[in-house]
Structure 1
Amino acid sequence: MTRQRLTREQQEFYETNGYLIGMPAIFDEQEVEQLNAGFNKTVGMLNEGEVPSDIMGWHQTSRWQYNICANPQILDYVEGLLGPDFYLWGSEFITKAPKSEKVVPWHQDSYYWPLTPHNSVTVWLAFTDVDEGNAAMKVIPGTHKGGLVQHKIADEESILSFQLSDGTFREDSAVTLSIPAGGVSLHDDAIVHGSPANESDRWRIGFVIRYSSTDVKCDLEKNPNFKAYLMRGEDRYQHNPQGEIPTVDFARPESSKRIRKR
């Protein structure tokens, strides 16, 4: 596939709305099968009691996951939003089994992250077709411009620890981010987003990748395991510890504790 750069119109849409969809799929049908084979192999490495959503930050030890994060087409899209100098720092699988009652409540990613300033892009890579029927993510356009909003303790059925307080946004303006298998969406770290329960008979499997511009610094007291992997350009700031590219195709970290549930 010929690599594409974001058009000025796409960049302006993202700046205004805080998200972007509609780009051609990055991986073809055969490559999607390979992605899911890698996912199944990774799930097979989980310990008893762990679930796929515990696969967080394994790009630090798994070359297979690191290579996905370093995919040139993905990086081209990210560069169109963050500029020429940016690094990879986070990844996780976000899955919903058929008939799952779990929800991702309305929230802002940047509320959870000890990063300053807020200038991060999340890439949501679909391993399966994702649509309204199997609980695709929804966003509230433009909410990334309003700064951080007060959160509260999340409801019991939530997979997160915090959610937005009632009355802090208008749910009727939500947009569903439908993505074909092998495709991606992009969203700002401060946009309000969430997803409902999966009432369908289909899996919803997504691999989420986090990138930040090199001026973004992590508070290492809150996340001492933070590692930055320079993806494009140069790091003139040297704010964060640098990660080492893994050499083993499939390997789990010694500790895989989820850090979003603070």
Structure 2
Amino acid sequence: MADAQTLPSLDDERELTSEQVDHYRRKGHVLLRNVASSLEIEAFEPLISEEVRRRNNQDKPLEERDTYGKAFIQIGNLWQSSPQVARFTLARRFAKIAADLMGVDGVRIYHDQALYKEPGGGHTPWHQDQIYWPLDTDKTITMWMPLVPVSEEIGSMTFASESHLLGYISKMVISDESHRTLGEFVKGRGMEEVNYGALAAGDATFHAGWTLHSAPGNPTDRMRKVMTVIYIADGLRIAEPDSNARRNDLKGWFPGLNPGDLAASPLNPLVYSSK
């Protein structure tokens, strides 16, 4: 296995165009090409996939799982269990992009997640990520990066443009009900639905925590391997949890902290600061 110090550093800085930043802030999502190179992905994909294999405890066949279970294999905080993956998750390059898109001076990690959609895996229902997070802010963002080419047949996630401007729309967790109700909401409001289609490994979408999104199933015979990193603005404070989902996230991702505390536990390192 590669030593962490011999892996690509990913700590250079990429400059965004004003058009890319403006698109993200208006639409709540943006696609950026070649955020990581093919050589960088070749170095990190086997390490991330091995960590997913090692930590995955899903043993039910697809047909016996609920909608959420069919959507993907989900493994979080890989950076904590693998120094090699930490080099990817904590990369300054990715973090600066997140900070620049949000227009903040610094960002911390909320957590990372590998989302591997199995061959024949189901769709991901419409939802807002931030209903799970005990934060009252619009300064959160997720990087979603495929580690393998994603064909047009699968595509990226589907985003409801400008939905992030509405803030907290519903407390519904990812479920059949959220897909039906929020899907009707998107259609009823006449929102633009954007799927960026085929992506190369190392391309990445970035979307705001309040942006409504879903993802199609995987009709192919290949695993859709995606790594995500969630960033929050430095200096945020934890909000009073108003749901079980947020109470659980407070315990899991902000251990030892309470409402009103700075959102800065040891699990939330500062990964970029312009100061």
After TM superposition, give the deviation of residue 94 of structure 1 in Å: 1.1
Q: Is the 8 A contact 1:126 1:207 kept in 2?
A: yes
After TM superposition, give the deviation of residue 3 of structure 1 in Å: 4.2
Trace 1:207-226 onto structure 2 (pairs within 5 A).
207-219=227-239, 222=247, 223-226=250-253
Alignment match, 1:53:
73
- Does 2:109 correspond to 1:99? no
Name the Cα RMSD after superposition: 2.9
Secondary structure of 2:205's counterpart equals: strand
Residue-by-residue CA offset, 1:74-95 (whole Å, 9 max, x unaligned): 1221121232122111111111
Residue-by-residue CA offset, 1:32-76 (whole Å, 9 max, x unaligned): 222221123213322543697341122233222221122232122
Q: Look up the equivalent residue of 1:204 and give its one-letter code.
A: R
Alignment match, 2:28:
18
Secondary structure of 2:168's counterpart equals: coil
- Does 2:199 correspond to 1:176? no
Structure 1 unaligned residues grouped into runs of 5+: 229-236, 247-262
One of 150, 154, 174 as aligned partner of 1:134: 154
Change (3 A) 1:35 1:9: same
Change (3 A) 1:35 1:17: same
- Does 2:262 correspond to 1:239? yes
- Does 2:39 correspond to 1:30? yes
Runs of 4+ more than 4 Å apart: 151-156, 161-164
After TM superposition, give the deviation of residue 191 of structure 1 in Å: 0.7
Change (3 A) 1:243 1:7: same
Alignment match, 2:111:
90
Secondary structure of 1:239's counterpart equals: coil
Change (3 A) 1:163 1:245: closer
Q: Look up the equivalent residue of 1:174 and give its one-letter code.
A: E
Alignment match, 1:256:
none
CA distance in 2, matches of 1:172, 1:116: 24
Percent of aligned positions that are identical: 19
Secondary structure of 1:49's counterpart equals: coil
Residue-by-residue CA offset, 1:100-125 (whole Å, 9 max, x unaligned): 2x111111111221112231010011
Instruction: Give the TM-score normalised by the residue count of structure 1.
Output: 0.76
Q: Is the 8 A contact 1:89 1:211 kept in 2?
A: yes
Q: Is the 8 A contact 1:4 1:73 kept in 2?
A: yes
Change (3 A) 1:47 1:81: closer
Q: Look up the equivalent residue of 1:89 and give its one-letter code.
A: Y
Secondary structure of 2:186's counterpart equals: coil
CA distance in 2, matches of 1:164, 1:145: 21
Change (3 A) 1:63 1:162: farther
CA distance in 1, matches of 2:206, 2:153: 20
After TM superposition, give the deviation of residue 163 of structure 1 in Å: 4.2
- Does 2:184 correspond to 1:167? yes
After TM superposition, give the deviation of residue 131 of structure 1 in Å: 4.0
After TM superposition, give the deviation of residue 197 of structure 1 in Å: 1.2
Instruction: Give the TM-score normalised by the residue count of structure 2.
Output: 0.73
Change (3 A) 1:47 1:53: closer
- Does 2:11 correspond to 1:9? no
CA distance in 2, matches of 1:173, 1:195: 15
Change (3 A) 1:226 1:172: closer
CA distance in 2, matches of 1:41, 1:164: 35
After TM superposition, give the deviation of residue 219 of structure 1 in Å: 4.6
Residue-by-residue CA offset, 1:190-236 (whole Å, 9 max, x unaligned): 111001111123321111100011232235871223249xxxxxxxx
Structure 2 unaligned residues grouped into runs of 5+: 1-9, 60-68, 242-246, 270-275
Change (3 A) 1:153 1:239: closer
Alignment match, 1:149:
169
Q: Is the 8 A contact 1:126 1:183 kept in 2?
A: yes
Alignment match, 1:197:
217
One of 64, 73, 84 as aligned partner of 2:93: 73
Alignment match, 2:64:
none
